[in-house]
Structure 1
Amino acid sequence: MYGSTPAPHVAESEPEKNFVESASPYVAEFVGSYLLVFTIGVCSIVANPLWGPTAVGSTLVVLVYIFGPISGAHLNPAVTVACGLAGQISWQKVLSYCILQISAGFVAGLACYAVFQLPMGVSPVDPFSFWDAAFLEVVYTAMLCFVVLSVATSRTNNPANNQNNFFGLAIGLVIIAGGQAAGKISGAVLNPAAAIGLEVAGAARDHSAPYGFAYSAAELFGGIVAAAAFRFVRRHELSESEPSFTSGVFCECFGTFLLCCTIGLSLTQQSDSTPWAAGAALASIVYAVHDVSGGHINPAVTMAVVLSGKCSLERGMVYWAVQLFGGLLAGIATAAYHGIGGIATSNLEPNGDFSWMSVLAVETVFTCILSLVVLKVGPQSNFYFGMAIGSCLTLGGFASAQISGLMNPAVVWSVAIANFTSSITSISLLYHCLAFCLFQLAGGVLAPYLHHLTKEIPYTKFRSVLD
């Protein structure tokens, strides 16, 4: 990872490493895992629950950039197992890394307890059950491992002779998204080293079951799912060919499912940071799959790309279908969390005193901005394109939070499914869903014409007029 694997064309043998060079990857994994688990422990005690996931995600970004060139900066047994299953590292190193990571988590858990004298542990947040929590641990650990594999080990997304600069950011954003979406249900541990380490420190808590080890099993399963998904999506790299159509279809479905789950879970918890979670999720997904499917993850964006001529109508229609299917699966999955513990369901109607004209304005404009950014920045060899795309959900969501701020027909469809399956609703839900989708698709239709207009009027012409 991150350049630790030599390029295929290198024929000569590497110079023999001394003891320090040989030991440095293992030291990096221990130290990095300790710092990460210690941060998770501290955040679980003193951090604001709203911003704790951002603190942990930011820590992971920093640690990945520090230790990535040395050890790969897995810092997580689930990630290490996923890399082993994907054929990225040897199983001898998998075993060594996992032992060091779990040992570091154990030491970090003891250190947290020694400093704060408070039990931490890991367990489902009342009133949710273990299975409610375990499902989310699987989903978001799979998302984390899939992103790590895609941005750090893929030969096309991170070639040895032109490595990307966004790998650490993309990985940390998954923690922010998963923490915001699942934090109030499972705690969003997503790391067996943290689950076991904090379980040790939480021994004083009255647990009815050893949740730390149960969480670890769920997270390792998430790593297995991610490795299987990565091998399917990136199988073209073995033959050095172009990504297949089915790989792109899978990426759009899987990515839309993850985005809709993140937004749906955040909405049901009435989180004030839903736009931040949505933007983080979209940015990480775009960084992971942009070179396979284009990273649309939104029927309105696909509409814009098709109308701009960058995607065929046939491919676009299949993308629309699988994006809506991903939203359907996410709606069914998140419906189970509606109404539990007093968590309110989401509405597909104007909030407060705002009218449908307000919804039309904000959904059309902000979806247009999102689609226009996708057309303008595109998946290029730069650092910012994923963040630029994800930031559109953040800015649009915060700007229009009091009105709507969904900006994605698949998300709207997902929310409608979740409401429909969790309660008996009237036919008006269908009309509301269609209205939101039409407003957003209008933004997708408008974007390519603005893109074409601005493309046809170069800056040099404006400059000559100003001069």
Structure 2
Amino acid sequence: MSEHSRALLAEAAGTFWFFCIGAGAIIADANGSGGGLVAIALAHGVTLAVAVSAFGPISGGHFNPAVTFALAIAGRHPWSRVPTYWIAQLVGGLAAGFALRGIFDFALAAVDKTHLGTPALANGVSVPIGIGVEALLTIFLVWAVYGTAVSPLAPRIAGFGIGLTVATDILMGGPLTGAAMNPARHVATAIPAAFFDNWYVYWVGPLLGAAVGGLSIRLLFAQLRELATPAKS
């Protein structure tokens, strides 16, 4: 198997793992398991941290089209591999969504209430605000991905900085938009649940945030690399 094929399998597997636990926690909470927002944030954050640590050496551990897009803009991922990474992430995500549909067949009320854990705008949150929140949270995520896992100056903390960022983003943005930060996260459960309200928010927002995050990386971290390079005598 080629290196690229292994990377695509890792992206699909990691996305499946991440979404199964993250969306599954939302459904379980709605079914009365308790825990609330903090438990949902931890389920997403801890799972992503471990998945990035496990599969990062194979594929980079993106599990998110917005992260792949941002790293391509930042010059740290080949553009030629963006489409195949996106396909792998969407396939892994959809597999998770359909798996959750079967797993929670006994809890149809919770499935219907949460639309299978699909992110959605809260009452009173407009589409522009929703896009802005998703973009802002994605910028924070992109900075965490690059600064803690991709940059040559990154501390060796595997995926845990990324997972913590996702968890805290959910604590802030979850009550507003669901804090997807990830187009595949929305698609994964929206299609099995047949719930497409404001679907474009979860593409436009994260990809806009990814573009801003990727461009800012080219500026900010390039300067940091220069500072870290010893001056020639």
- Same fold per TM (> 0.5)? yes
* One-letter amino acid of the structure 1 residue matched with residue 215 of structure 2: A
Q: Indicate the residue corresponding to 1:111 in structure 2.
A: 99
Provide the rounded CA distance (Å) in 1 between the counterparts of 2:213 and 2:172: 19
* RMSD, aligned α-carbons: 1.8
The 5 A counterparts of 1:10-409 are: 19=1, 21-47=3-29, 48-50=35-37, 51-117=39-105, 118=111, 119-120=115-116, 121-155=118-152, 157-158=153-154, 164-203=155-194, 205=195, 209=197, 211-236=198-223, 241-242=226-227
Q: Deviations over 1:261-310 (max 9, x none)?
A: xxxxxxxxxxxxxxxxxxxxxxxxxxxxxxxxxxxxxxxxxxxxxxxxxx
Residue 54 of structure 1: CA displacement? 1.0
Aligned residues: 213
Provide the rounded CA distance (Å) in 1 between the counterparts of 2:76 and 2:125: 37
Provide the rounded CA distance (Å) in 2 between the counterparts of 1:81 and 1:130: 23
Residue 34 of structure 1: CA displacement? 0.9
Greater RCO between the two (CA within 8 Å, min separation 6)? 2
Provide the rounded CA distance (Å) in 1 between the counterparts of 2:156 and 2:150: 13
Q: 1:107 to 1:212 in 2, by over 3 A?
A: farther
Residue 29 of structure 1: CA displacement? 0.5
Provide the rounded CA distance (Å) in 2 between the counterparts of 1:188 and 1:122: 7
Q: Deviations over 1:204-225 (max 9, x none)?
A: x5x5x3x334312211111111
Provide the rounded CA distance (Å) in 2 between the counterparts of 1:173 and 1:122: 19
Unmatched tracts of structure 2, length 5 or more: 30-34, 106-110, 229-233
Residue 103 of structure 1: CA displacement? 1.6
Provide the rounded CA distance (Å) in 1 between the counterparts of 2:13 and 2:82: 17
- Secondary structure class of the residue paired with 2:175: coil
Q: 1:178 to 1:29 in 2, by over 3 A?
A: same
Unmatched tracts of structure 1, length 5 or more: 1-18, 159-163, 244-467
Identity of aligned pairs, percent? 28
Q: Does structure 2 retain, via aligned residues, the 8 Å contact 1:33–1:76? A: yes
* One-letter amino acid of the structure 1 residue matched with residue 82 of structure 2: V
Q: Does structure 1 retain, via aligned residues, the 8 Å contact 2:119–2:179? A: no
Provide the rounded CA distance (Å) in 2 between the counterparts of 1:202 and 1:123: 13
Q: Deviations over 1:106-128 (max 9, x none)?
A: 22112212222423233102232
- Secondary structure class of the residue paired with 1:40: helix
Provide the rounded CA distance (Å) in 2 between the counterparts of 1:108 and 1:151: 27
Q: Does structure 2 retain, via aligned residues, the 8 Å contact 1:148–1:167? A: no
Q: Please tell me whether Structure 1 or Structure 2 has the larger radius of gyration of its CA atoms.
A: 1
